[in-house]
Chain A
């Protein structure tokens, strides 16, 4: 355990070495958020008004709830996105660098999990201020939930991190059999961006019942949509517990599958290069 904590510490130091790059990227990351908010403002302004003068809603979301949702999926993705993980693993396999994990008393998957954990902590710590300001500016769109919802939300985020990690790790481990996973990752990233609910709440796809039924059983909604819905208290009672259990089952399922895939992959591994 101590050695993985050391890895966490070293990775944290490394992450903060490129400060200018880090802060500039963080600043730029707010641009899509700003334009998305403005786009939704324009969408609500153009939407048909209710006859009784009630506030305009789109698939059950008022303008405030939509803004809140779009802010919350940013938090979800802060936990569940794993840029470069799959391609990094695949490169290590292809270049023979995987040997470093095999020759040392260290497990690749646990090492990478610690490493990613450090990146997430560094990212969350350094973006806490700009995100804090953003959430403060939009404080009116939120109704603060009760302590149990906070707990469920926190749990859903941790599980989102695990699902995101093991899902991408599985794709990287496919590098034992595929020469190159980069192009495949592009497809997966675009697909995930859409089906995880990062672009809009999945209720908007209501007119495609087969698609929504498929998304219900797949793990992608837990990467962005589900945690946001938990915070907005649109998942409560039994529905919330069942949702968290399914998310937990996906996290465990992907962990087991990932370890099995790695185990089988190592038998194929010839350690060329490196």
Chain B
């Protein structure tokens, strides 16, 4: 069963790549846009660290590792899911979702994994390069267990982000115009762009706590980044990040199915 889905995903990924390569110019421009965004992100943070020695107790190297982790995570989500989820409301509105529901395959898989946006793949690589450079500057020595834990937490962070994206996508059926999801997601992911330690102060601390424990979007990049560059990672936090990913993915599936219940195939 699982193998069937893996094979199907590889076929879809191959088909997506062929589609991208048919419009090479557009593909290259999309990669250029991502490079430009990364350049601005790095320039911004480099400029900031000319003025300060640390940001919320993260020194420059640690902070650049965090940025690399965020960029790789963002690239992974955009590559695998964002474009697909962005089209969901349009599928509902046009009635084209019928074609997905009639196929003998899980609807969630087909809706959220149909297309792979290969232009975002370099982001994962570039994120990894920034993380490696930051580790090199810190003087990090290779530790297999640490890397293993990082990869598990990175995967759980990706699962968590996927769950939230799916919930937002499903909610778009009731709440939003279909063009809003992309912007909503971008705004929502602001919360995973910075270390959670910046949430200091009488009103910021409860807000940070809320987005760490109740709607745990901040776990997505904070936990994997911490395990590599911060002196101490509490084991409970790693376990909590994994448990949160499982709960959010399960909840997102439930909400997605509830959204399908509301689908009336009106336009087909």
> Is B190's CB under 8 angstroms from A21's CB?
no
A102 contacts B by Cβ under 8 Å: no
> Is A183's CB under 8 angstroms from B26's CB?
yes
CB closest residue in chain A, given B197 = A42
CB closest residue in chain B, given A194 = B40
> Is A42's CB under 8 angstroms from B36's CB?
no
B188-217 at interface with A (beta carbon < 8 Å): 188, 190-191, 193-194, 197-201, 204, 207
Which of these binds chain A: B4-12, B48-56, B73-81?
Answer: B48-56
B67 to chain A minimum Cβ distance, whole angstroms, is 12
Across the interface, B191 reaches (CB within 8 A) one of A18, A31, A43, A191, namely: A31
What residues of B have a CB within 8 angstroms of the CB of A193 in the complex?
40
B175 contacts A by Cβ under 8 Å: yes
Across the interface, A47 reaches (CB within 8 A) one of B43, B52, B180, namely: B52
Residue among B50, B190, B204 with the highest chain A CB neighbour number at 10 A: B190
> Is A187's CB under 8 angstroms from B36's CB?
yes
A35 contacts B by Cβ under 8 Å: yes
What is the size, in residues, of chain A's interface with B at 8 Å between Cβ atoms? 37
A245 contacts B by Cβ under 8 Å: no
CB closest residue in chain B, given A59 = B51
> Is B47's CB under 8 angstroms from A39's CB?
no
CB closest residue in chain A, given B185 = A28
B241 to chain A minimum Cβ distance, whole angstroms, is 20
B35-89 at interface with A (beta carbon < 8 Å): 36-37, 40, 43-44, 47-48, 50-56
A46 contacts B by Cβ under 8 Å: yes
Across the interface, B180 reaches (CB within 8 A) one of A21, A34, A183, namely: A21
Which of these binds chain B: A3-11, A169-177, A199-207?
Answer: A199-207
CB closest residue in chain A, given B203 = A137
Across the interface, A43 reaches (CB within 8 A) one of B48, B174, B175, B188, namely: B48
9 new A-B contacts at CB < 8 Å, known A34-B204, A46-B54: A25-B176, A31-B190, A34-B207, A38-B204, A39-B198, A44-B52, A190-B40, A191-B36, A200-B44
B residues in contact (CB < 8 Å) with A: 26, 29-30, 32-33, 36-37, 40, 43-44, 47-48, 50-56, 174-177, 180, 183-184, 187-188, 190-191, 193-194, 197-201, 204, 207
